[in-house]
Amino acid sequence: MRHLLLLFFALAVNAAEPVSGLRVGAGRADITPEVDVLNWVTGKPYGAVLDPLFVQAIVLEQGGVKAAILRWDLVDVSESLRDEVRKAIGAALAIPGENILLNASHTHSAPWAPVYTGGHRGKERDTWWAIRHMPAQNEFPPFKRWMARLLAASVEATKAAIAAAKPVTVAIGRVAVNEYLYNRRPRAPAWGLAETKPAPALGYTHPDWNAEVLYGGATFGPMDRTFSVVTFQDAEKKNVASLYHVALHSVSIYPSNPGISADWPGAASRTISSLLGGESLFLQGCAGDITPWRRGEAAVATMAGGLASKAQLAMRYGVTLTAAPLVAGRATVDLPLTPAGKSRVGADSVPVEIQVIALGSLAFVAIPGEPLTDIGTAIRERSPFPQTLVLGYSNGVGVHYVGMPGEKVRGGYEMGVAGAGTDEAGGLIADTAVRVLRETYARVRPGQ
């Protein structure tokens, strides 16, 4: 029987009182592993660093209470990493663990998040994705040093953010970026083709591949073209930090180059920071089925410049949000597993965390695993917060790939061996997220 436990907490003063004095700061720390660490794709050492990996932190402070959002140039955030980071930051900086949100960029050119302790996923310790081409690296000295570095870097980045905090106003702007992305799960026709076996679709590695072309009478899958930019500006209208959010796989470098890379988010963040000023942080959305329109280093350069220009445009036409209390909520829900998932985990379900951090009309919703884009849309459309950003790859691995009910029948590797949850798992995530949003909203606007 599924267990649903809702835990809600306010991060600031009573929502009925006028609230001011929001302070925000941002910081970063290097988390690039040694090149001897093994590449989870090849099972061989990475061998080279194409560009560095970072953990970045943004700290929101109001009424003496702090909340932190950390984002990583990693494939994922394991449940174990989540708990260890929360403990480390809590011990060093007195930020409660429930006030800390962790999000991964999902770059495939970086390691999977390490597992420090078992017990989060039944008998499964390291997820099968991380060790399918090699054994676990926990006792391998370069990887062991990297595991320790991740925890120290988390504290460093958050400490730097606290030290840099200053009074700010908050603004948000949006712009379309559909030219850079596509849904790799087109909808095949159920019937009506005269050809018994249509010509196979061209893959992205084929020289004639074109993301704008569909094959075999298919129709396009859903896609969220939204590129959101949240800016925090000081009294002189200078950017302290900017958050940009889009649902898009970080796989432009992978798999053609085996080196370590933050992929397009690393290049985009550097370019956006140079144009807007302040620290620029990428928050990954529900990108399980959304992939860049092209791959390779040239595509990375094109995206970095293009997204930076889009960020400038979004900022130019952005709107300032009213001051409001910092409020948050959490929930845990058990996601039922497929027979294969049950075999790997040794249990019928996996508990996952859903988290919300809201600042007035702006809400960050963190969900685990690798959600398909429809989950993000379903949550946003039902959210009472007009400015809702849904983050995938957050606070845990969950059931890996997960879609809304009905996706399993469409097949594909995302809904096969790569997705350990049953067809109802995505609906449970969406329903729980909406419930947390509504309960949190009641604290922001009581009586509404």
The number of angstroms, rounded, from the C-alpha of 7 to the middle of its chain's C-alpha atoms is: 22
Secondary structure class of 1 (helix, strand, coil): coil
Q: Is residue 151 predicted with pLDDT exceeding 90?
A: yes
d(CA 385, CA 24) in angstroms, rounded, equals: 21
d(CA 283, CA 103) in angstroms, rounded, equals: 7
Lowest mean pLDDT among 26-30, 110-114, 391-395, 444-448: 444-448
Cβ atoms of 390 and 373 within 8 Å: the answer is no
Amino acid at 221: G
Q: How confident is the model at residue 199 (pLDDT cuts 50, 70, 90)?
A: confident
**According to the model, what pLDDT value does residue 63 have?**
78
**According to the model, what pLDDT value does residue 207 have?**
87
Q: Is residue 3 predicted with pLDDT exceeding 70?
A: no
Percent of the chain with pLDDT over 70: 96
pTM for the whole structure: 0.94
Is the bond preceding 207 in cis, omega lying within 30 degrees of 0?
no
Q: Is residue 138 predicted with pLDDT exceeding 90?
A: yes
d(CA 252, CA 215) in angstroms, rounded, equals: 23
Q: Is residue 4 predicted with pLDDT exceeding 80?
A: no
User: Each residue of 239-266: pLDDT tens digit?
Assistant: 999 999 999 999 999 988 999 999 999 9
Choose between 447 and 334: higher pLDDT: 334
Lowest mean pLDDT among 16-30, 131-145, 277-291, 345-359: 16-30
Give the side-chain half-sphere CA count within 13 A for 121.
26
Lowest mean pLDDT among 43-47, 56-60, 189-193, 272-276: 189-193
**According to the model, what pLDDT value does residue 65 have?**
77
Average pLDDT, rounded, for the chain: 92
Choose between 196 and 109: higher pLDDT: 109
Choose between 323 and 433: higher pLDDT: 433
**According to the model, what pLDDT value does residue 300 have?**
96
Q: Is residue 159 predicted with pLDDT exceeding 60?
A: yes
**According to the model, what pLDDT value does residue 20 have?**
61
User: Each residue of 264-293: pLDDT tens digit?
Assistant: 999 999 999 999 999 999 999 999 999 999
**According to the model, what pLDDT value does residue 323 have?**
78
Q: Is residue 442 predicted with pLDDT exceeding 50?
A: yes
Q: In terms of DSSP bridges, do strands 362-366 and 387-391 run parallel, antiparallel, or are they unpaired? A: parallel
Can you tell me the mean pLDDT for 183-212? Answer: 88
**According to the model, what pLDDT value does residue 7 have?**
46
**According to the model, what pLDDT value does residue 141 have?**
98
Choose between 3 and 432: higher pLDDT: 432
